[in-house]
């Protein structure tokens, strides 16, 4: 039986906050589904299997070198695996020093 | 090289085995917060000492805008200062008068410099040139970075001279430097490509040094975040007009696909500088015929700009 757990999201100071939801198809197979809010306030729904964060960002047209990711307030590497209960915040690295 | 034992395990620091917070793509290694901070500070110290960018007894004027790069620069220099005998740091903040942008960054600069208890000097375009950048640029926004760059450079140099600085440090990082190399190639400006502003054998201008030149922009951001020093500040509203934005996007794509691209661009520039030194024999530094400042042509960039803008651009506090 297909059980859909809705993803949820928040937007904080113009940054993107990903809260991964999941589609549970069989106990041994989990798909991740998340909604992404970009700094321009547009939204995307992403359905994907478990992937490293950088691959997910690339698929959404975001260069991982242009953002910093945090999970539960802590910095995570750009190749960190995304978990189903994650809340991932993307901070855009603006040019200018 | 480290990583988790599977795609789902968190990666571990190559040094201590703690959970990693950063992935160095070119070296293909993970670092924890503590060792990333240590690595960056060590890299800057090595850069300034091996290349003699900063030597014992130097008074270093540090351009501090309040943005991420200059903030990280000042923090790192303050940390490594005990390793350089008799080093004096002076922070200089230039207010161009960019409405809706500069006010926030100057506040950030004031907080940081105050916390570090470093001497702080402020200069403004209005005081120096009689107007804000917004007013000077009206109708010429496409030239914003060029105009701002020339006026900021003059403002910084003047302030550095007034506080007795022997070096002027700016927060240009690896991404900035690699973008500049690419832009100079795209413009066909080999003279600028081969120029090294960190030395001056004539003694007529204060050498400009870039201690963060081998620190990537993302590393700078991570350095600040890890120490709760990250400020979510806006980007300069004039940035969109510049060729640099295109160069930035291009290089970021290449760097992700081919890690080390930016570093190799920097190494190419240094090779060109070295090979051009022998050719640079009959090119003495001149004096601007209008203001007397050192320059390579008859007029310095500032005086050329004054003519182009058709304004007096009063020079005060020179």
Contact B218 A68 (CB under 8 A): yes
> For an interface test with B, which of A39, A82, A84, A97 has the most B Cβ atoms less than 10 Å from its Cβ?
A97
* Nearest-Cα residue of chain B relative to residue A83: B8
B188 DSSP assignment: T
Question: In angstroms, what separates the C-alpha of B158 from chain A's closest C-alpha?
Answer: 20
Residue A92 has pLDDT above 80, yes or no: yes
Give residues 199 to 218 of B whose Cβ lies within 8 Å of A. 217-218
For A95, which of B9, B22, B235 is closest by C-beta distance?
Answer: B235
The full DSSP string for B46-102 is HHHHHTTSS-TT-EEEEE--SSHHHHHHHHHHHHHGGGSTT-EEEEEEEE---TTTH
Whether B232 contacts A91, CB under 8 Å: yes
Q: Is the pLDDT of residue A9 over 80?
A: no
Residue B128, pLDDT above cutoff 80: yes
Q: What is the pLDDT of residues B97-126, one digit of tens each?
A: 888 778 888 999 999 999 999 999 999 988
Chain A residues lying within 8 Å of B7, measured CB to CB: 50, 52, 81
Whether chain A has a CB inside 8 Å of the CB on B39: the answer is no
With cut-offs at 50, 70 and 90, classify the pLDDT of residue B53.
very high
pLDDT value at position B56?
Answer: 96
CB nearest to B252's CB, from A63, A78, A83: A63
pLDDT at B14: 97
Pair B24, B15: CB distance under 8 Å: no
For the segment B160-214, what is each residue's pLDDT rounded down to a tens digit? 999 999 999 999 999 999 999 998 888 888 777 777 666 655 667 899 999 999 9
Of A70, A91, A97, the CB nearest to B65: A97
Mean pLDDT across B25-45: 96
The residues on A that touch B, with CB distances below 8 Å, are: 13-15, 50, 52, 63-66, 68, 70, 74-81, 83, 91, 93-97
Instruction: Give tens-digit pLDDT for B63-92.
Output: 999 999 999 999 999 999 999 999 999 999
Least CB-CB distance to A68: which of B11, B71, B225?
Answer: B225
Crossing angle (nearest 10°) for helices B301-309 and B144-162: 130
- Kindly report, residue by residue over A36-90, the tens digit of the pLDDT: 555 555 666 666 667 888 998 898 888 999 999 888 788 999 999 886 667 778 8
**Neighbour-count burial of B280, counting CB atoms closer than 10 A to its CB (0-12 exposed, 13-18 middle, 19+ buried):** exposed
DSSP state of B11: P
All structural domains of chain A with their residue ranges: 2-92
Cα separation, B22 vs B116, in Å, equals 26
Contact residues for A48 (Cβ-Cβ < 8 A; gap 6+): A31, A32, A33, A34, A56, A59
Within 130-189 of B, beta carbons closer than 8 Å to A belong to 170-173, 176
Q: How many degrees, rounded to 5, is the angle at CA A60 between CA A59 and CA A63? A: 85
Quickly state the pLDDT bin for B133 (edges 50, 70, 90): confident
Cβ under 8 Å to A: B residues 222-281: 222, 225-226, 230, 232-236, 239, 244-245, 248, 252-253, 255-256
pLDDT given for residue B285 in this prediction: 72
Give A48 to chain B, closest Cα distance, Å: 15
**What pLDDT does B190 receive?**
78
Q: What percent of chain B has pLDDT over 70?
A: 88
Q: What pLDDT, on the 0 to 100 scale, is given for residue B275?
A: 80
The answer to whether B232 contacts A75, with C-beta atoms less than 8 Å apart, is no
B35 — pLDDT class (breaks 50, 70, 90): very high
Taking the C-alpha atoms of residue B67 and residue B173, their distance in angstroms, rounded to an integer, is: 12
A40-49, B35-44, B133-142, B288-297: lowest mean pLDDT where?
A: A40-49
Residue A96, min C-alpha distance to chain B (Å): 6
pLDDT tens-place string over residues B280-306? 544 567 888 888 887 877 888 888 888
Q: Which chain A residues are closer than 8 Å to B9 by Cβ?
A: 81
Which chain A residues contact residue B218 at CB under 8 A?
A: 65, 68, 93
- Quick check: B11 contacting A, CB < 8 Å? yes
Taking contacts as CB-CB distances below 8 angstroms, the residues of chain A near B176 are: 97
Asked if A97 and B69 come within 8 Å (Cβ–Cβ), the reply is yes
A14 pLDDT band, cuts 50/70/90, is very low
CB interface of B with A, residues 59-118, below 8 Å: 65, 67-71, 73
Tell me the mean pLDDT in the region B141-155: 84
Q: If you average pLDDT over every residue of chain B, what do you get?
A: 86
CA–CA separation, B250 and B267 (whole Å)? 19
pLDDT of B264 > 90? The answer is yes
- Measure the CA–CA gap between A58 and A64, rounded to whole angstroms: 7
Q: Are B12 and B20 in contact (CB under 8 A)?
A: yes
**CATH classification code of A2-92:** 3.10.20.30
CB-based burial label for B91 (10 Å; 0-12, 13-18, 19+)? buried
């Amino acid at each position: 039986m297909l059980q859909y757990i809705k993803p949820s999201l928040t937007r904080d100071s113009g940054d993107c906050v990903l809260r991964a939801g999941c589609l549970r198809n069989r106990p041994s197979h989990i798909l991740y589904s998340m909604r992404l809010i970009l700094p321009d306030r547009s939204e995307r729904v992403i359905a994907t299997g478990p992937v490293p964060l950088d691959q997910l960002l690339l698929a959404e047209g975001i260069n991982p070198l242009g953002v910093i990711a945090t999970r539960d307030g802590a910095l995570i590497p750009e190749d960190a695996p995304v978990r189903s209960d994650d809340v991932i915040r993307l901070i855009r690295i603006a040019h200018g020093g | 090289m480290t990583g988790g034992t599977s795609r789902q395990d968190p990666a571990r620091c190559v040094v201590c085995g703690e959970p990693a917070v950063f992935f160095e793509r070119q070296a293909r290694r993970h670092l924890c917060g503590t060792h990333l901070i240590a690595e960056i500070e060590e890299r800057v110290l090595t850069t300034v000492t091996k290349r003699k960018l900063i030597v014992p007894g130097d008074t270093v004027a540090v351009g501090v805008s309040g943005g991420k790069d200059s903030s990280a620069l000042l923090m790192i220099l303050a940390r490594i200062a005990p390793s350089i005998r008799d080093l004096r740091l002076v922070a200089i903040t230039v207010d161009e008068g960019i409405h809706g942008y500069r006010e926030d960054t100057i506040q950030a600069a004031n907080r940081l410099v105050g916390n570090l208890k470093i001497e702080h000097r402020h200069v403004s375009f209005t005081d120096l040139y009689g107007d804000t950048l917004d007013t000077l640029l009206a109708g010429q926004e496409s030239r914003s970075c060029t105009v701002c760059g020339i006026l900021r450079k003059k403002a910084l140099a003047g302030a550095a001279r007034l506080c007795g600085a022997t070096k002027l440090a700016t927060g240009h990082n690896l991404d900035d430097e690699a973008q500049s190399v690419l832009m100079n190639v795209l413009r066909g400006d080999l003279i600028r490509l081969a120029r090294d502003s960190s030395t001056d054998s004539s003694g007529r201008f204060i050498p400009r040094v870039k201690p963060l030149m081998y620190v990537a922009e993302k590393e700078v951001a991570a350095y600040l975040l890890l120490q709760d020093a990250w400020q979510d500040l806006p980007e300069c509203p004039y940035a969109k007009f510049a060729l640099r934005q295109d160069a930035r996007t291009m290089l970021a794509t290449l760097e992700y696909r081919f890690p080390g691209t930016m570093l190799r661009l920097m190494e190419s520039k240094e090779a060109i500088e070295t090979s051009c030194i022998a050719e640079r024999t009959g090119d003495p530094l001149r004096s601007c015929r209008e203001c007397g400042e050192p320059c390579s042509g008859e007029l310095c960039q500032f005086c050329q700009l004054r003519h182009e803008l058709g304004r007096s651009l009063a020079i005060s506090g020179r």
